[in-house]
């Protein structure tokens, strides 16, 4: 089975993100970038499938700016058989779908895995767009994934209205992976050292027959601002009975919610 895994670089979840000087973008200079956490579930799923289905291969692919190099290096360190880095700075989620669909044309994967969403923009746009461009089924947000031993059909389970939904699809297909699907492993020291000896295939939009300008987002952001400051909390240090009276008074006379 040929498995492709799509990876995206995103700011670290602990990064202090602030609006840039233009007020229309984020200041990402010096911000640590890492692989989108949901994509880690996708790559772990690929590794488990390769272990269960001997002879399978994994191709990691990432499209975007220079930070995509970190994604493909991470994938190679984890054991990807090959990797493609599409250099396209400023690419949108839709543009990434076009670029990766073109990059996967020669590989012709039986299964394409990606994260449920990217934690930077939370658009949920990429998996469905990629499935449409490849003209194959796509199943979203799975928390359980099984592929038949013959590699012809998959079964996935996902949350649905406080219940569980089971979906079957024929392969090839695109599957986006949700939290809880597995426990992603980290690269070993040997894997990191081996990754330095390997190189990813680097492509540009022109190499894929694409117009770089068509991959840029058509959504215009007017302004980005931090959340409004919350008013400071109030600490009541009175005895319990008096504190209760003070809380009731505050709710009635000041907050006016009672």
Q: Is 13 left (phi over 0), alpha (psi -120 to 50) or beta?
A: alpha
Tokens 């390997």: give the residue: 198
DSSP output for 12-46: -TT----B-TTSSSB--TT--EEE-HHHHHHHHHH
Confidence of residue 104 (pLDDT cuts 50, 70, 90): very high
Instruction: Give the domains, in start order, of the chain with CATH numbers.
Output: 2-215 (3.40.50.620)
Residue 115 DSSP SS3 = strand
Residue 120 to residue 8: CA distance in whole angstroms: 10
Give the bridge partners for 6, in sequence order: 61
Question: Is residue 220's pLDDT more than 90?
Answer: no
Confidence of residue 255 (pLDDT cuts 50, 70, 90): confident
Confidence of residue 124 (pLDDT cuts 50, 70, 90): confident
Residue 215 to residue 88: CA distance in whole angstroms: 8
């Amino acid at each position: 089975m040929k498995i492709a895994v799509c990876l995206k670089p995103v700011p670290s979840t602990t990064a202090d993100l602030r609006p840039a000087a233009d007020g229309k973008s984020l200041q990402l200079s010096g911000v640590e970038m890492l692989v989108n956490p949901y994509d880690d579930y996708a790559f772990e799923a690929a590794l488990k499938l390769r272990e269960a289905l001997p002879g399978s291969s994994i191709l990691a692919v990432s499209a975007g700016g220079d930070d995509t190099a970190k994604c493909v290096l991470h994938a190679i360190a984890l054991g990807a058989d090959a990797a493609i880095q599409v250099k396209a700075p400023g690419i949108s989620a839709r543009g990434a779908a076009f670029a990766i669909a073109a990059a996967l044309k020669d590989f012709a994967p039986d299964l394409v895995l990606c994260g449920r969403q990217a934690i930077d923009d939370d658009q949920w746009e990429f998996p469905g767009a990629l499935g449409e461009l490849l003209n194959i089924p796509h199943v979203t947000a799975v928390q359980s994934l099984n592929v038949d031993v013959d590699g012809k059909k998959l079964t996935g389970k996902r949350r649905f209205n406080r219940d569980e939904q089971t979906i079957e699809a024929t392969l090839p297909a695109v599957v986006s992976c949700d939290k809880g699907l597995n426990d992603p492993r980290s690269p070993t020291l040997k894997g990191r050292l081996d990754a330095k000896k390997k190189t990813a295939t680097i492509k540009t939009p022109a190499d894929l027959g694409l117009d770089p300008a068509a991959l840029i987002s058509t959504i215009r952001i007017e302004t980005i601002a931090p959340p409004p400051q919350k008013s400071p909390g109030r600490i009541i240090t009175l005895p319990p009975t008096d504190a209760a009276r003070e809380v009731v008074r505050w709710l009635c006379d000041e907050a006016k919610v009672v």
